[in-house]
Structure 1
């Protein structure tokens, strides 16, 4: 291209060429011809670029340059003085407990087992008429008592039901009205409904609710265990009120505004929870299903269900007056009180199953932590051990497993495979090892004779289970714990260690 010093240069001509001869310089200016050309090219390019940008903005009506400032959404950033929203706690939940004056004297004992006084929990028991203990203090082991408003003006046309269902349906609305304008309302995020014969595990309830945005419309619960109940009487899309359900507070306030009109439209429905479901359908809010809410529409022994609880925190248990006590040789309330001891030590792991094998004796062990240990002769695959055994009848008091909304299996396939059951006797926290130690004693029941050449599990009288509490287990993907038999020389005793499975650990009696 040449150098920048052109003082002595003359116009350049090209001889022997038919092309026109151009003068490279028109004057004696000191500017470079290359620099001048480059400036011209850059100006042309910039002009073209600006034109293209304005043309694209003209074609795109949503270009930022064409949106009025009044419609732009500001970007909100947390300043140095702002804190992220705190996690949902018990203080953010208000309970509406449906009760009747006829049964309250007895059923309040269930509520006492899980209610936390002194302002740790808030809510009310809604009765039809006043009872003697209708006045309660903050230190009372029971929630405050409220009397439901009169519902005699509402129509009720179901021939086999009871019109008290209307009163119970309106507890959500009356709870919202009870909170309206009070100081505590600003903290409320969820309204939780249940019956007076329902037991809650509050810490697990909070674990479930933390998964959801309380500012959105949520209706959380579970259907019945009875297929016929879901299919004919109610719906698989309905949360059963006995097992309890949670409604986000914004949704509860909207429900309160329209519920009375909605109730009038469904005078032919049977219960309170199906009326709630009908109103939710009108609002367009579906059921968010959480399997830890338990209606327990069954009769008999819950052993088969609770020993293989789903891999989710247990939230509630209903119909405790219908089923047998969950621990043998005790009354129902005392059985729940015993269960609350392991619930305080490791509520996240309560009823969670782990499976392992004693290869030296050809036994299969299944531990439902805080509740039972089962020992079965011979090897049983994990997929079978996860299935509930039929220790109960369906809601129509028939041993018809096709009337259940889940898979089940017989208690035993042969007399030799009948499991030996060990129930929780006590549990304590071992501070030296930061582990819990739970003891399970064998339940004496009919044990048929067996001619298999396998040692009888009845030789074991007690089982000790070591386990480290795991309150954060539900912040991870669900996975069953693993268990390992620990050698011991003590006669009639078995020791088992329960812990999270290793990444590549499998539960199988053979690698073949």
Structure 2
């Protein structure tokens, strides 16, 4: 046993000499020191390799933008990328002039071919760029057009122009009309240093099925935060190569967002308007959110009778939008007890009256004055609830459209007048209805630019009728207004 023990000690001594210098054998303190140094070296090398590897990936976290971070988001922090084509430019440029102001707004129009510009065009429109060649990208969709690839790349091409102090890139079409101040109010609620993709889907149920319900439709416009635009641009071209079968540009953007793991943040103030014809039903029952955009204006009737499309919108922009952009199209519902009328105000656009007491729940539902995207009256084709017009023409709403708007500077009260009453979509001369009870509507409302900084809530209104004129007072609901309304039903 003693010999075996001695042999074992000799073996261990030789083993130690193989792995450690002789001077450390038999010195526990020195041995421990070298073990700690070896482990530290391995850990440090491994950590540095991880940092190097992660920094080389495109999927890195957004880095803070260094300029002006302490100030709230303003219009100058937004850059618009506007998709246009040479063959429609002559008419579409007039829509851009409605909302784009060179001294306040920044953006670029991206065209497929050069166009001629008048002196007025140069003064009132954004700079114009020609999109780069996209023939290297595959496109195999049998019904689409490969211009979708060109439009998909507007984000990266606009980013490459190196605008300074950008927080948001907003993509849209040349027939998209924005309310810029409302757009700023929406985007100010989000952190541009994070990954945000903000817009909305189509009004058409079929469109959402055929394409994607998780996609922001480009006609209504969508916003991409600066951080996301940088990330997307690093991966966009390779992503486009992977989706040659898709139909449109917005489909491709959504596919790339899906690869990046960024979902759509919905905001129902963006409007694709995949409908045809008379848009009154949608505008008069606008949801309780700021109106951000219009689209497909060439396919819709003018917003006002006896106006051109551009002329009708100009009337809204020069009046209500300039007075109180946040309140445009916001619905108020009240009742004329003596005359047994329900009154619906779409501020800055119209007032309608309906005989009898109609509940707010019903008044909030858009009337189907429009056709479905397939150009028919399919009641189940919409991605929202609608209601039909009464078959009896005399039971249809009487509509008063905006005539004039002004600001009483002493009271800070807006005064908008509505007239030329007519039955909604009244057809045929053989229908004889009761005389119109009121010839003119006058709506008084305080300017309220901070309305969307509070909890969203529909405004309240009260009416007073004098002879053939009805005065309507619109404002923030007070305690007791709700109970008073319910007593009238």
TM-score by length of 1: 0.79
Match of 1:276 in 2: 253
Match of 2:35 in 1: none
Q: 1:346 to 1:106 in 2, by over 3 A?
A: same
Match of 1:144 in 2: 127
Report SS of the residue matched to 2:487. coil
Give unpaired runs (5+ residues) of structure 1. Answer: 1-81, 451-455
Q: 1:303 aligns with which of 280, 290, 297?
A: 280
Report SS of the residue matched to 1:112. helix
Listed one character per residue, the Cα deviations across residues 8-36 of structure 1 (whole Å, up to 9, x for unaligned) are xxxxxxxxxxxxxxxxxxxxxxxxxxxxx
1:499 offset after TM fit, Å? Answer: 1.0
Listed one character per residue, the Cα deviations across residues 55-101 of structure 1 (whole Å, up to 9, x for unaligned) are xxxxxxxxxxxxxxxxxxxxxxxxxxx99710000110000000001
Q: Is 1:208 equivalent to 2:192 in the alignment? A: no
Q: 1:84 to 1:173 in 2, by over 3 A?
A: closer
- Mapped contact 2:400–2:422 kept (Cα < 8 A): no
Match of 1:50 in 2: none
Match of 1:285 in 2: 262
Match of 2:227 in 1: 250
1:377 offset after TM fit, Å? Answer: 0.5
467-476 or 492-501: bigger deviation: 492-501
Q: Is 1:368 equivalent to 2:352 in the alignment? A: no
- The CA distance in 2 between the partners of 1:480 and 1:457, in whole Å, is 31
Alpha carbon RMSD of aligned pairs, Å? 1.9
Match of 1:99 in 2: 84
- The CA distance in 1 between the partners of 2:324 and 2:359, in whole Å, is 27
Listed one character per residue, the Cα deviations across residues 432-467 of structure 1 (whole Å, up to 9, x for unaligned) are 2210100101344538445xxxxx461311111111
Q: Is 1:465 equivalent to 2:443 in the alignment? A: yes
Match of 2:22 in 1: none
- The CA distance in 2 between the partners of 1:116 and 1:217, in whole Å, is 28
Match of 1:495 in 2: 471
Q: 1:483 to 1:457 in 2, by over 3 A?
A: farther
Q: Is 1:262 equivalent to 2:247 in the alignment? A: no
- Mapped contact 1:136–1:145 kept (Cα < 8 A): no
- The CA distance in 2 between the partners of 1:355 and 1:416, in whole Å, is 21
- Mapped contact 2:404–2:418 kept (Cα < 8 A): yes
Match of 1:230 in 2: 208
Match of 2:461 in 1: 483
1:148 offset after TM fit, Å? Answer: 0.2
Listed one character per residue, the Cα deviations across residues 469-495 of structure 1 (whole Å, up to 9, x for unaligned) are 11001001111111111242xx32111
Query: Size of the alignment, in residue pairs?
Result: 416
- The CA distance in 1 between the partners of 2:68 and 2:388, in whole Å, is 54
Larger Rg: 1
Q: 1:109 aligns with which of 87, 91, 94?
A: 94
Match of 1:428 in 2: 406
Q: Aligned ranges for residues 309-458 of structure 1 at < 5 Å?
A: 309-340=286-317, 341-412=319-390, 414-445=392-423, 446=426, 448-449=431-432, 456=434, 458=436
Listed one character per residue, the Cα deviations across residues 268-309 of structure 1 (whole Å, up to 9, x for unaligned) are 000000000000000000000000000000001110000010
Report SS of the residue matched to 1:131. coil
Match of 1:220 in 2: 198
- The CA distance in 1 between the partners of 2:478 and 2:447, in whole Å, is 17
Q: Is 1:86 equivalent to 2:94 in the alignment? A: no
Match of 2:116 in 1: 132
- The CA distance in 2 between the partners of 1:271 and 1:428, in whole Å, is 43
Report SS of the residue matched to 1:225. coil
- The CA distance in 2 between the partners of 1:419 and 1:97, in whole Å, is 38
1:411 offset after TM fit, Å? Answer: 2.0
Q: 2:142 aligns with which of 154, 159, 162?
A: 159
Match of 1:24 in 2: none
1:135 offset after TM fit, Å? Answer: 9.1
TM-score by length of 2: 0.82
Report SS of the residue matched to 1:458. coil
- Mapped contact 2:110–2:154 kept (Cα < 8 A): yes
Which structure's residues are more often helix, by fraction? 2
1:371 offset after TM fit, Å? Answer: 0.3
Report SS of the residue matched to 1:95. strand
- Mapped contact 2:198–2:216 kept (Cα < 8 A): yes
- Mapped contact 1:135–1:144 kept (Cα < 8 A): no
Report SS of the residue matched to 1:129. coil
- The CA distance in 2 between the partners of 1:443 and 1:276, in whole Å, is 45
Listed one character per residue, the Cα deviations across residues 207-251 of structure 1 (whole Å, up to 9, x for unaligned) are 10011011000000000000000012x111000000000000111
Q: 1:178 to 1:437 in 2, by over 3 A?
A: same
- The CA distance in 1 between the partners of 2:282 and 2:379, in whole Å, is 13
- Mapped contact 1:378–1:417 kept (Cα < 8 A): no
